[in-house]
Amino acid sequence: MGIAARVPLEEYLNTSYEPDCDYVDGVLEDRNVGKRKHGETQAAIAAFFFPLKKRLHIRVATELRMRVAKERIRIPDIAIFPDSEDAEVLSNPPLLCIEILPPDDRFGRLQKCIADYLTFGVPEIWIIDPYEREAFEVTEECQSAQQVTELRWKGITLRLSEVLPD
């Protein structure tokens, strides 16, 4: 669902949108703006990773633009990327993308984003549904969402009970 007519990529990259939107083949696409549970989950997951930055040599960012293809910019809820990366718009795949489902998006739009992440080379994607209290994992090896009870990455384990709001 586009929110504007065609926009040149340079214009998109030099414009701030509130809320920010994805850029897909010259068209701006709405991203579901989270509600309370979405926002609290996003904050809790970012906070979970933040103290691990030095040990894992990572950076943690929320809603960071990623150039997943020549004419596509996607904005994951959370991106984990190497601490050596310093670009304002990521042009290299992050190590992990995390998406939090808002109540009105049940995987529809997200499936297109996940396909773009995988094509871009993101090795692992987590999908967390704070409303149904479920988690899913997508990897390069298994590209369909697999429901999991815990999320594991680089020797750490994230339990939903640690990050989901009441």
Please write the tens of the pLDDT for every residue from 52-100.
Answer: 999 999 999 999 999 999 999 999 999 999 999 988 899 999 999 999 9
Mean pLDDT over the full length of the chain: 91
CB 120 within 8 A of CB 66: yes
Q: List the CATH code of the domain at 31-163.
A: 3.90.1570.10
pLDDT of 106 reads: 60
Instruction: Please give the C-alpha separations between residue 11 and each of 14, 19, 162, in angstroms, as whole numbers.
Output: 5, 16, 40
Segments making up each domain of the chain, as ranges: 31-163
Angstrom distance (rounded) from CA 80 to CA 98: 8
Q: How many CB atoms lie within 10 A of CB 45?
A: 24
Q: Is the pLDDT of residue 1 over 70?
A: no
Please write the tens of the pLDDT for every residue from 36-54.
Answer: 899 999 999 999 999 999 9
Q: Is the pLDDT of residue 156 over 80?
A: yes
